[in-house]
Every structure is written in C-alpha cells, then in structure tokens.
Amino acid sequence: MLNLLNEKVSHKSLGEGTIVEVEDEVITVQFAKKTSKFTFPAAFEKYLTAQNPAIASMIQGMLGDIKAAEAKAKEEQKARIEQRLAESKVTTISTTRRVVTSRYSKYVPSPADIVYNVPAVESLGEILDNCATLDGYIKSKKDPEYTYALELVKRGTCFLAIEKDGQYSFYPSRFIGYVNNTMIQHENNGAKDGRETNPAIAGAINQGNPTPNPNLDLLYKEYCARLGFHASDKGTFGVERKFWVINI
C-alpha cells in the first residue's frame, strides 16, 4: 500500500481530513468533527479525493487496474457459463410428430460463479433497460435466452405491466429489479430476492407494493397467449399474481 499516513483528503460531506492510520485495506481519516474508517482504494472512487496530485494519480491508477481485473474476470466467467449452458442443451425427437425440438436443463451455477453484490435498481430508466433486455430475448427467438425469458414470464408472481400501443407487456419483478440484468447475471445472483427488488421497483416508479388486479391478470394471460403458451390460473406455488402498471 502507498504511504498514506498524514496525507490530506477531501470528503464530499465531511470536508477536509487527514489519514491517521493505515491497516491492511482500511484507512482511518480524522475530520474536524469525527473520525471515520474507509476501504482503500474503493473509497477514493466515490467518497474521498487525495489533495496531493501525485498520490491522487497513483490511487486512480490502482482503481483502473482493479476495474480491468474485474472486467477480465467477468468475461472469463461469462465464457464459462455460456459453455456450460451449451453443454446443457438436450435435443429430443418426437416420433409421432417427427418434430425435432430443443430444451435447456436448469442451469446451476458453480460456487465460483455465484455473486452476491448485484445492486437493485434505483430509477425507471434502469427498469426499462431490463424490460428491453427481456423483449430482445423474446423477439430474437434464439435459445437459451428465448426459452429463459418465456420461463421467467410463465413462473413470475409480481409483474410490472407496461402499456405500449394499446397492448400490455408484463415483466417479472425479480429480473427487472437488478441493475443491467442479463440471463447470465441473474442465474449467478446468489442473493436475488423479491423482498429486495419489489421495494426497489416501487420506489423507482413512485408506487406502493404491487397488488392483485383481475383485469391485469386477464391481460397477462392474453400476453402469455401471444407468446405461445397457456398461463396458469395462479403464479408459482399457487400464489396470486400482483401488478404495478405504467404507461410509456
């Protein structure tokens, strides 16, 4: 670690401070009104700024190296997962109808692939980006993404209903509730939980909790029919489906 003792830093809300202790990856900063601990160098990405230009430059270089390593690891992880998804493909032949179909077995991530720190959405724009991702999977009709998206819609219990050009589309909350979500990321998110995504979505669209709505449930079933499958009367485990609705 750099020799940071007695270096001056600035904090967005706490003002100017001095680094008074460095231990492993934690630095202690004495401000005028309080003493705070920060993770190094991550804190210099959002919260702290070194006043010494040379120190600031070296810290930014360290942050750049960390981001590059994380990006490389993510690409390697993606390649491993795509390979495993390809290996999970099973081709079946119907002897009565002479039709060849493909299905994908349930993907189970290895412990090395699981992540737990995927942030929840904070804005409508982030939600709509995820909705567009699901729309892209469905429109492509390319597996495994196509079948995966249909299964999310089929199994969901809480949905954001979006009216576009006189028709409604329905997006499952757990998928659209995490930032920049994809099939790969979602399957490896070891902490995905509707108890996290539902409040995040509600806050981002300025609505309360999703609620049952018989009219929207009928429109959901019509949407499923357009996608080519029959919707069940209830959501997963017999839970009543719930909805938010917005127009764009």
**Tally of domains within the chain:** 2
Least confident window among 79-88, 132-141, 176-185? 79-88
In a domain, 209, yes or no: yes
Q: Are residues 171 and 228 located together in one domain of the fold?
A: yes
Residue 92 confidence (pLDDT) = 38
In a domain, 221, yes or no: yes
**Residue ending a domain, choose from 35, 69, 103:** 69
Residue 97 confidence (pLDDT) = 39
Domain that holds residue 63: 8-69
Q: Are residues 234 and 175 located together in one domain of the fold?
A: yes
Residue 151 pLDDT class (50, 70, 90 cuts) = very high
Please name the residues in contact with 7: beta carbons below 8 A apart, sequence gap of 6 or more: 18, 19, 50, 51, 52, 55
Residue 161 confidence (pLDDT) = 96
> How many residues are present in the chain?
248
Higher pLDDT, 189 or 94: 189
The arithmetic mean of pLDDT across residues 155-179, rounded, is 93
Q: Are residues 118 and 235 located together in one domain of the fold?
A: yes
Report how far residue 100's alpha carbon sits from residue 3's, in angstroms, rounded to the nearest whole number. 65
Q: Which residue has the tokens 């009367």?
A: 233
Tokens at 193, concatenated: 């939980």
In a domain, 77, yes or no: no
> Does pLDDT of 26 surpass 50?
yes
209 burial level (CB within 10 Å; 0-12, 13-18, 19+): exposed
Tokens at 151, concatenated: 């299964």
Residue 101 confidence (pLDDT) = 39
**Residue ending a domain, choose from 41, 69, 97:** 69
The arithmetic mean of pLDDT across residues 113-127, rounded, is 84
Q: What is the pTM of this model?
A: 0.59
In a domain, 242, yes or no: yes
The arithmetic mean of pLDDT across residues 70-94, rounded, is 62
Q: Are residues 42 and 157 located together in one domain of the fold?
A: no
> Does pLDDT of 111 surpass 90?
no
- Give the mean pLDDT of the chain: 85
Report how far residue 233's alpha carbon sits from residue 23's, in angstroms, rounded to the nearest whole number. 58
Nearest to 170 by CA among 189, 150, 187: 150
Q: Which residue has the tokens 């499952």?
A: 172
In a domain, 230, yes or no: yes
Beta strand pairing call for 89-94 and 99-104 = antiparallel
Residue 57, Cβ neighbours under 10 Å: how many?
A: 10
Residue 220 pLDDT class (50, 70, 90 cuts) = very high
In a domain, 226, yes or no: yes
Least confident window among 82-86, 118-122, 189-193, 224-228? 82-86
Q: Are residues 168 and 64 located together in one domain of the fold?
A: no
Instruction: Give the tens place of pLDDT for each residue, 51-75.
Output: 999 999 999 999 999 888 878 877 7
CB 201 within 8 A of CB 160: yes
The arithmetic mean of pLDDT across residues 135-164, rounded, is 92
Residue 91 confidence (pLDDT) = 42
Q: Are residues 206 and 139 located together in one domain of the fold?
A: yes
